A and B are shown apart, each in its own frame.
Chain A
């Protein structure tokens, strides 16, 4: 298991390099530059050039990238060109809302999706069709639309939850939970659908296998067969899907953060891109990449826990 962790961690180093390089080049290719944003359209050419020079934008791209890389290797991600604040502190301040949202949505997707999937596999017929219907709805409703519908009903009409904003866990755990319910439900819809279908198919496959009939014949209780044996066997493809759902949810958080005015990494990424704030975009991309690497590692470890053959391999 330790070897697996070390190997995966080493493999992530070139990935981080590739992501940072490609982000740097791609952002540099976007038309417009931040010096214009800062000085405004009415500024004179001299003012614009002065700001451009002070931001180091006259340097060649490779020089700027090298400077950034050098700093990043020393834990310094530089300053935001827009706000002149350290990138690491800006990104750190946005990390908690995004992680709360994404982890919450993944957990809810997994729990609800597995529950629906198991129910669909066990009770073919009406519940099966419900699972199909839920999956279709979850996949077809755009998250921004679902978000607005939930806000209109649960925030504006019934006043159950706040319409927008985020409360830090440290300030009030109850308010933190309240502020996350609607965004998490919005973001979970697609994940629930995918996981429910995957679980149902995998469970059906396992339940049809001879070893399940054998377990039944030996008198082992049905709930034990389902949850202890069948679900564990069916879990490996489901875990893969959960990992993919996490990554998809991370991407989807950009829209949901906008709908619910959550101060997360997604909304920061949108701002930074609009402003061509290269160091900030780099910092966010780096954080996103690290999060995805960590999640993939967790998925690999979960394989090991569920299937001893993986550990041996």
Chain B
């Protein structure tokens, strides 16, 4: 029905729909004969003017993006990339990660690692101004990096943990010195991890960035047309250095939490692009003429965290859990047809992805039972698991609960209602295992925030591994040519030692209207970049 209507609309355009409306109005009023219909119809004469298809090619000047959540602060120094849409529009990064995975110039025209990855030199673009009119300089960049490190609860402290000094070597050049090898700085300074999204020193000293923007990006926040938590309006930054990259007169980010509401808003043209997770309405979106960009972005897994205490201290037990799960049906369920069953915490395109590890743990409940018996659990055991009633983690927990019951393992998921409670509990030691919905990142970064001693999967139970740490040390000093090999070695360690029960890679999808181009979360980049959204020609 929806498809037929969409076709009719495309063929005849809005006027014929208005005719339909007029006929409906007359008969509807007669039929209802009451105030309810009168109220509805009395407003109808000015029938809602949804954007016409013809408007699509002649840009309306406004791009509307729907996002399900909003950030506590608009300051990109927080480094919370779940809110990157809010930051990317107003803050250009030093380095841009392109859809093909390559890095290209942003605010920096060139960059170079020093010996042993212990220094990093940056040359800035000249003539760049922030939206307050002040100039981008090496000194301003240094101030910004210091601001990121000092940002309370921000990601900068972790990324720059080994930063020992920043030398301003010229008006537009600076060098960062590290006490330990620090690779992946291109990624850290790109729009993906946001540390290169430099803000004006005036704003950092004025502490205005929670509710305002002052970057050197294409747009800037129009606070007078912004309602926190509801809609954020961006207008072009008059000082942006490349006017051709500014595609819209206005960009509006609307916070819409309900996926069905998002779909209706897309269908009626109230929204042009929407971030959707989980990808439940893809078929309906496609049949309504919308486009779907669904790159595999998230790993869904059970993290077996307490590897210091029984039963998860046993490698046999962890391996048994991996053999006990038939990943295919769960991947289908979680990805709604767009998912991929995985045995490792990586997918093709990731530096640590190792094809040899595919199907490392084929579904084999008999073998799982055997391993459990060998480990001293012939009748299985009970495993408390922390999960979240969002991001499909509860679905994952329930699916695993059903499958693991077949080998005698009783999963006891504690499905908490809020991210807030989940994040509080995950930092504690009440749950030996937790369900994860985790973004794709290079092995070095994954080690820093997930696998390593300070990572989420090792810190609570102090369950890191010397061997893994050694591989990391090798990785951060490895020359570019051997880096992928070492990254794979890290993945091999994780899989062979069954630190996780990886189940599926799922997409963080974007639904968008056909009048928009540039929505491109290619596998090599994993995420869209909002400033690339442009009117389709």
Residue numbers of A with Cβ under 8 A of B are: 30-45, 47-48, 50-51, 54, 82-85, 90, 93-94, 108, 111-112, 115-116, 148, 151-152, 154-165, 174, 177-178, 181, 184-185, 188, 192, 258-261, 263, 267-268, 271, 274-276
B419 on the interface (CB 8 Å rule)? Answer: yes
**Among the listed B17, B72, B265, which residue makes an inter-chain contact with A164, where contact means beta carbons less than 8 Å apart?**
B265
Contact string, B437-468, partner A, CB cutoff 8 A, digits 1/0? 00000000000011000111001000000000
B26 CB-CB contact with A under 8 Å:
no
Residues of B within 8 A of A116 (CB): 34
Query: Which B residues touch A164, using CB under 8 A?
Result: 256, 261, 264-265, 270
Q: Are A174 and B24 in contact (CB under 8 A)?
A: no
Listed by A's residue number, 22 A-B pairs whose Cβ atoms lie within 8 Å are: A31-B416, A38-B72, A40-B153, A50-B152, A84-B72, A85-B211, A85-B228, A151-B261, A156-B267, A158-B21, A159-B18, A159-B48, A161-B44, A163-B264, A178-B43, A185-B40, A260-B261, A261-B255, A261-B258, A263-B231, A274-B417, A274-B420
A174 touches B418 (CB 8 A): no
Contacts of B80 in A (CB 8 A): 40
1/0 contact trace for B28-50 toward A, CB 8 Å?
00000011100110011011101
Beta-carbon contact of B231 and A111 below 8 Å: no
Question: How does the 8 Å CB contact mask read for B401-416 relative to A, with 1 for contact and 0 for none?
Answer: 0000000000000001
Q: Indicate whether A177 sits within 8 Å of B423 (C-beta atoms), given known contacts A111-B35, A155-B264.
A: no
Interface residues, chain B, with chain A CB atoms under 8 Å away? 2, 5, 14, 17-18, 20-21, 24, 34-36, 39-40, 43-44, 46-48, 50, 72-73, 80, 152-155, 157-158, 210-211, 227-231, 254-258, 260-261, 264-265, 267-268, 270, 288, 416-427, 449-450, 454-456, 459
Q: Smallest CB–CB gap between A97 and chain B, Å? A: 9
Q: A94-B227, A94-B230, A181-B40 are in contact. List 16 more A-B contacts (CB 8 A).
A: A30-B421, A32-B416, A32-B420, A34-B420, A41-B423, A47-B152, A84-B211, A90-B228, A151-B260, A155-B268, A158-B24, A160-B47, A178-B46, A261-B254, A268-B229, A274-B419
Give Cα distance in the complex from A297 to B124, angstroms. Answer: 65
Interface pairs A-B: 3 shortest CB-CB: A32-B421, A39-B153, A263-B230
In the complex, which residues of chain A have a beta carbon less than 8 angstroms from the beta carbon of B424? Answer: 31-33, 36
Among candidates B43, B50, B210, B456, residue contacting A177 with C-beta atoms closer than 8 Å: B43
| B contact residues around A90 at 8 Å (CB) | 228-229
Q: A174: which B residues are within 8 A, CB to CB? A: 43, 46
Question: Are B264 and A37 in contact, with the CB atoms below 8 A?
Answer: no
Residue numbers in B under 8 Å from A157 (CB-CB): 5
Q: Are A108 and B264 in contact (CB under 8 A)?
A: no
**CB <8 Å contact, A188 and B36:** yes
Minimum CB–CB distance from B169 to chain A (whole Å) comes to 31
Question: Are A161 and B270 interface neighbours, CB within 8 A?
Answer: no
Question: Least Cβ distance of B298 to chain A in Å?
Answer: 14
User: Hey, which chain A residues are within 8 Å of B423, CB to CB?
Assistant: 32, 36-37, 40-41
Least Cβ–Cβ distance between B257 and chain A, in angstroms: 6
Nearest residue (CB) in B for A274 is B418
A154 CB, nearest partner CB in chain B, Å: 8
Output the least CB separation between A111 and chain B (Å).
5
Complex Cα spacing A156 to B263, Å: 10
Residues of chain A within 8 A of B24, CB atoms compared: 158
- A-side interface mostly: helix
Which one of B36, B227, B418 has the greatest number of beta carbons of chain A within 10 Å? B36
Chain B residues with Cβ below 8 Å from A154 are: 40
Q: Which residues of B contact A268 (CB under 8 A)?
A: 229
Q: A260 to chain B: which residues have CB within 8 Å?
A: 261
Whose C-beta in chain A lies nearest to the C-beta of B1? Answer: A157
List B contacts of A192 (CB < 8 A).
36
Contact A83 B73 (CB under 8 A): yes
Instruction: Give the one of A36, A45, A184 with max B CB within 10 A.
Output: A36
Contact of B229 among A34, A44, A152, A271 (CB under 8 A): A271
B454 close to A163 (CB less than 8 A): no
- The answer to whether B2 touches A161, judged by C-beta atoms less than 8 angstroms apart, is no
Chain A residues with Cβ under 8 A from B455's Cβ?
42
A50 with B261: CB separation less than 8 A: no
Shortest Cβ distance from A151 into B: residue: B264
Are A84 and B210 interface neighbours, CB within 8 A? yes
Chain B residues lying within 8 Å of A178, measured Cβ to Cβ, are 43, 46, 48
Please tell me if the beta carbons of A108 and B35 are within 8 angstroms of each other in the complex: yes
User: Is the pair A43, B153 in contact by a Cβ cutoff of 8 Å?
Assistant: yes
User: A261 CB to closest chain B CB, in angstroms?
Assistant: 4
Q: How far, in angstroms, from A198 to B391 measured CA to CA in the complex?
A: 44
Cβ contacts under 8 Å, A274 to chain B: 417-420
Q: Bound state CA distance, A50 and B417, in angstroms?
A: 25
Q: Pick from A112, A156, A177: contact of B264, CB below 8 A.
A: A156
How many Å lie between the Cα of A161 and that of B34 in the bound state? Answer: 20
Partner of A42, one of B50, B73, B421, B456: B456
A255 nearest CB neighbor, chain B only = B258
Given contacts A157-B5, A158-B24, A82 and B158 within 8 Å (CB-CB): no
Contact yes or no, B36 A185, CB < 8 A: yes
- A162-B270, A163-B268 known; A51 and B153 CB under 8 Å? yes
Nearest residue, chain A, Cβ from B39: A108
Given contacts A37-B72, A112-B35, contact A159 B420 (CB under 8 A): no
